[in-house]
Amino acid sequence: MNIDGAIQHRHVTPTLSTNDTELELQAVLAGQVIGQVSNLSAAGYLRNGQLVPLLLRHMSSHIGVHLYYGSRAAQPRRVRSFIDLAVQRLAETPDYVLSEKELTRAASAKRKRVNRR
């Protein structure tokens, strides 16, 4: 973390470590942990106020969704159909892609609610 222009390192013991994105999302929604959740999972919850973005200044740049498959030469039709469907549904779809403006607005709305208390 950057404090007063100096990089500070802090060891934080994780309370939850998983590669199950749904489990992590449910733990975050339950208020048990702070998590790093993808736009694909978080967009709807951020928009309706169930999730609040934190540490926006330290957020990584956009990370794409990638599909990996074997040889293009021997690609079954069902694989190509799935790839085409995934690209159609996910590529720049506002349902799953949050703009920087939306994230900032969601973070600001939470700060305003907290300051009113």
Give the DSSP H or E segment for 89.
helix 77-90
Position 64 scores a pLDDT of 67
C-alpha distances in angstroms, 30 versus 11, 14, 25, 58, 109? 24, 16, 9, 24, 20
Confidence check: pLDDT of 36 > 60: yes
- Please check the confidence at residue 117 and state whether its pLDDT lies above 60: no
Residue 1, pLDDT score: 63
Instruction: For residues 1-14, give the mean pLDDT.
Output: 79
- Domain positions in the chain are 2-116
Reported as a single tens digit per residue, the pLDDT across 60-76 is 666 667 777 777 787 88
